[in-house]
Amino acid sequence: MSDTKTDLTHEQFITTAIDAINTEISALALLTEQIDDRFAQACDVILACQGRVVVTGMGKSGLIGRKIAATFASTGTPAFFMHPGEAGHGDLGMLVKGDVLLAISNSGESDEIKMLLPVVKRLNIPLISISRDKRGMLPRAADIVLTLGHSQEACPLNLAPTSSTTATLALGDALAVALVHARNFTSEDFALSHPAGALGRQLLTRVEDLMHTKSEDLPLIHQQAPLQQALFTMSAGRLGMTVVTDDNEKVVGVFTDGDLRRVLEKGIDLQTPMNEVMVSNPRHISKTMRASDALSVMNENGISQLLIIDNEDRLEAVITVHDLLQAGVK
């Protein structure tokens, strides 16, 4: 590598970057011209797959292949990446009947993939190739040939895979997106493969996972009890509220810290019965509601607690905004 370097101004760096991006945009535009019935056939084969989509590719194609396999796996299409070099030394056992092989080689002449093809054919595994055109060894052997078109690399030497890898990634994303539509894949399905992240918490966590139940001695008070008694009930319950019930233990109202501040500001007597100061018909939700939806209800109504009431109008549980925020629900 030469030790000489060219000093570029900031403006020249910016111009170079824009030129590179525009070159890759042109490659994507060229890719759209390659999307035809072959793409639809590839989708059909993957949808019919009883096993996994095994993605393989060498070098930069392999790095893109890993991303494509990960996107498939997280959007309802079981998939994994198989390194073609390691496959030739035992890892090809990962590939079994019922799988589909998606092989990536821009030139279509990868020696590492070429060694695998006799076994792929012997196992009668459908082979989908991705290459720049149909002329290489790989597309000639494939059952379905997906092409990128001859695009110029963004690399000024037209050598380093840049535009071609961008187009390959976009083609993989296009396959995954088409399959999402075909499978009627939902946000809940997506969350099942992302339980550890914020998105998983957002979509999977239900009110019943966080709510306070009867086993925790929920704060309850009779509607004829004095306001003074409500102070002790609220303090002991530590939920910032107390639920008001009738003679049959049915919920008739709620009284919160905010309500307490308002009545004290008005100088209301502490012997006033709760049915005169409570908020009637309190908002309640289902315990199966998403926790994120419960937070939205609280935000929209300017409240910090929600009740979960059973079919007989009796209190089943309480959930607070603190519970939701503490669990990372947004």
**Is residue 192 situated within a structural domain?**
no
Overall average pLDDT of the 286-303 stretch: 92
Q: What's the number of domains the chain is made of?
A: 2
Is 83 annotated in a binding site? The answer is yes
**Is residue 195 situated within a structural domain?**
no
One DSSP character per residue, 153-175 reads -SSTTS-SSSHHHHHHHHHHHHH
Q: Measuring CA to CA, which residue among 241, 26, 245 is closest to residue 150?
A: 26
**Is residue 181 situated within a structural domain?**
yes
**Is residue 113 situated within a structural domain?**
yes
Would you state the pLDDT for residue 27?
Answer: 97
Q: CB count, 10 Å around CB of 256?
A: 19
Shared domain check, 162 and 19: yes
Would you state the pLDDT for residue 96?
Answer: 92
Shared domain check, 177 and 238: no
What is the chain's mean pLDDT, rounded?
91
Give the domain CATH number at 230.
Answer: 3.10.580.10
Q: In what order do the strands lie in the sheet with 305-309?
A: 212-213, 315-320, 305-309
> Radius of gyration over alpha carbons of the chain, in Å?
31
Shared domain check, 114 and 61: yes
Shared domain check, 307 and 225: yes
**Is residue 105 situated within a structural domain?**
yes
Shared domain check, 95 and 50: yes
Would you state the pLDDT for residue 157?
Answer: 87
Residue ending a domain, choose from 154, 185, 216: 185
Shared domain check, 173 and 70: yes
Overall average pLDDT of the 210-235 stretch: 91
Shared domain check, 128 and 229: no
Shared domain check, 21 and 122: yes
Overall average pLDDT of the 27-45 stretch: 97
**Is residue 64 situated within a structural domain?**
yes
Shared domain check, 174 and 29: yes
**Is residue 83 situated within a structural domain?**
yes
**Is residue 200 situated within a structural domain?**
no
Overall average pLDDT of the 240-250 stretch: 95
Would you state the pLDDT for residue 196?
Answer: 54
Express as a percent the part of the chain with pLDDT over 90.
78
Give the domain CATH number at 60.
Answer: 3.40.50.10490
DSSP for residue 214: G
Shared domain check, 164 and 23: yes
Shared domain check, 211 and 132: no
Query: For the segment 128-142, what is each residue's pLDDT rounded down to a tens digit?
Result: 999 999 999 999 999
Would you state the pLDDT for residue 2?
Answer: 55
Domain range for 75: 15-185
Shared domain check, 221 and 175: no
Beta bridge partners of 12: none
Looking at the chain, list the stretches that DSSP marks H as alpha helix, in order from N- to C-terminal side. 10-32, 37-48, 60-74, 84-87, 111-114, 117-122, 137-141, 163-183, 187-192, 198-204, 207-210, 227-237, 257-265, 291-301, 321-326
Which tokens is 164 given?
A: 């071609």
pLDDT class for 195, splitting at 50, 70, 90?
low
